[in-house]
Structure 1
Amino acid sequence: MTTQWKIDGEYLESCTCRGACPCIYTGDPTEGDCTDLVGWHISTGRYDDIQLDGLNVALAIYSPGAMHEGNWSVVLYLDQRADERQQEALGAIFGGQAGGHPELLASFIGEVKGIERLPLDFVSEPGRRHLKVGEQSGADVAAVEGQEDNEVTIRNHPFAVAPGETLVVAESRSLRHQSHDINIEHSGRTAFYSPFAYAGP
């Protein structure tokens, strides 16, 4: 019997690409490889009878080439506030075992370097998003200003963390991850954020 689940909320990602990131168009990263930190805040969610409202998840990714070609090395971070059943549910969803779009994302993973339970904070402010992973890692991103102070957006890109949603184009104020040999410390690089909605098959 397939477990019924559904989650929605906001996500952000911040990576090492410069300028307009080619990865979302299935192009090659601007630096040859790509290191990325992705965070999700679940506004409302349920996995069978397990409530997931308010919890966060993060994924550190190293891709040796074009992201759509796979062979990613990753570290999965689960919200320390979650109880054991909630963490098992989050692991099943974001590990791809529960189906839906996360299963497609997980198909690009070549190696899971670790799964950790840490304090995770995801903060939304007008034109800004902040992700904190434990004490050492995180991303602070700000929307790029477009015409007449409007946000710059992208829609219908072929390689998407949040399919069907409109991405806000942003830039990292800071991006840091130093764990499991996935190491980033940058600012002024590509970032995006948008709503997301995932559900089981």
Structure 2
Amino acid sequence: MGYLLNGTFVEACDCRLMCPCWTDDEPDDGHCTGLFAWSVDTGSTVDGLQVGGARVVCVTTHLGRRRGQAAAENTLSVIFVDVVDLPEDERAGALTALGQAFSGDRSGPLEDLKAVNGTVVLVEPAGIAITATGDDVTVTVDSGGAQPVVATLSPACFDGHEALTLRRTALSKELGIADEETVTAHHSDTLTIRAAALPGGFIEVTGRSGMRGPFHYVHKERP
């Protein structure tokens, strides 16, 4: 059937402001550990399943640039999916569908995520909270009684001016950002990642890179 996915994403990593991935450059120190978090809006569907209200977090470690074949070969990811706000009888199907979708295992525009995510070593359900307070945002993941992700970000403002915004970035295609839309630079007041399944998946930093913006993935399968 295809998919229609809209919402807001949050990105945070251990690069310094701003993450070079957004300009298709090498990460700081030649490697990067970070996350993408997606809040899925009401009305979103995958193969006819209503998935609005779901949340997905992808935790990733990678070497070198984030795009292209080399990136796919040097990137490992873990994906967490929260479908607790969906009807109980639809959760199992939505969990599978969203895991596949945000792994990049779908045709259409979501397929571009495959190179960004590289090898997905694990997809599992988890409790995910993505909470906005004004312009600040907090992302937490609770999995099996542990918290592998805690991130608190605020807009990166310079000299008292408004936060830096970007358009037509190197990651716009993979993240489903339209040409006319902007993403807003943030910095992490807190970024803690403890992803045991990933080599290098342990960081605890402050004042590092973040972004926040809209996403749209639309694809209709041919009958």
TM-score (norm 2): 0.83
Q: How far 1:80 sits from its partner (Å)?
A: 4.8
Matched-pair identity in %: 25
Higher share of residues assigned helix: 2
The answer on whether the counterparts of 1:4 and 1:200 sit within 8 Å (CA) in structure 2 is: yes
Q: Which moved more, 1:58-67 or 1:151-160?
A: 151-160
The answer on whether the counterparts of 1:93 and 1:99 sit within 8 Å (CA) in structure 2 is: no
Q: Which residue of the partner structure matches residue 192 of structure 2?
A: 176
Whole-Å separation in 2 of the counterparts to 1:14 and 1:72: 16
Whole-Å separation in 2 of the counterparts to 1:49 and 1:110: 27
Whole-Å separation in 2 of the counterparts to 1:149 and 1:107: 35
Q: Which residue of the partner structure matches residue 150 of structure 1?
A: 162
1:88-142 CA-partner distances (Å, limit 9, x unpaired): 1102211222223321111344422211111011112221111111141121110
- For this pair of structures, how many residues does the alignment match? 199
| Structure 2 residue matching 1:93: 3-state secondary structure | helix
Whole-Å separation in 1 of the counterparts to 2:115 and 2:17: 27
Q: What is the RMSD of the two structures over their aligned residues, measured on CA atoms?
A: 1.7
The answer on whether the counterparts of 1:162 and 1:194 sit within 8 Å (CA) in structure 2 is: no
The answer on whether the counterparts of 1:98 and 1:200 sit within 8 Å (CA) in structure 2 is: no
Whole-Å separation in 1 of the counterparts to 2:183 and 2:211: 6
Q: 1:138 aligns with which of 136, 150, 165?
A: 150
1:23-64 CA-partner distances (Å, limit 9, x unpaired): 111111122111111100001211132111111000001011
The answer on whether the counterparts of 1:37 and 1:139 sit within 8 Å (CA) in structure 2 is: no
Note if 1:106 corresponds to 2:125: no
| Structure 2 residue matching 1:31: 3-state secondary structure | helix
The answer on whether the counterparts of 2:30 and 2:63 sit within 8 Å (CA) in structure 1 is: yes
Q: How far 1:148 sits from its partner (Å)?
A: 5.7
Q: 2:78 aligns with which of 75, 78, 81?
A: 75
Note if 1:128 corresponds to 2:144: no
Q: How far 1:173 sits from its partner (Å)?
A: 0.8
Unaligned runs of 5+ residues in structure 1 are none
1:148-196 CA-partner distances (Å, limit 9, x unpaired): 6422101111223242231100000111111213222111000000011
Q: Which residue of the partner structure matches residue 197 of structure 1?
A: 216
Q: 1:163 aligns with which of 174, 177, 181?
A: 177
The answer on whether the counterparts of 1:80 and 1:120 sit within 8 Å (CA) in structure 2 is: no
Whole-Å separation in 2 of the counterparts to 1:168 and 1:64: 24
Letter in 1 for 2:152: D
Whole-Å separation in 1 of the counterparts to 2:108 and 2:153: 27
| Structure 2 residue matching 1:156: 3-state secondary structure | coil
Moved over 3 A (4+): 146-149
Whole-Å separation in 2 of the counterparts to 1:50 and 1:200: 14
| Structure 1 residue matching 2:28: 3-state secondary structure | coil
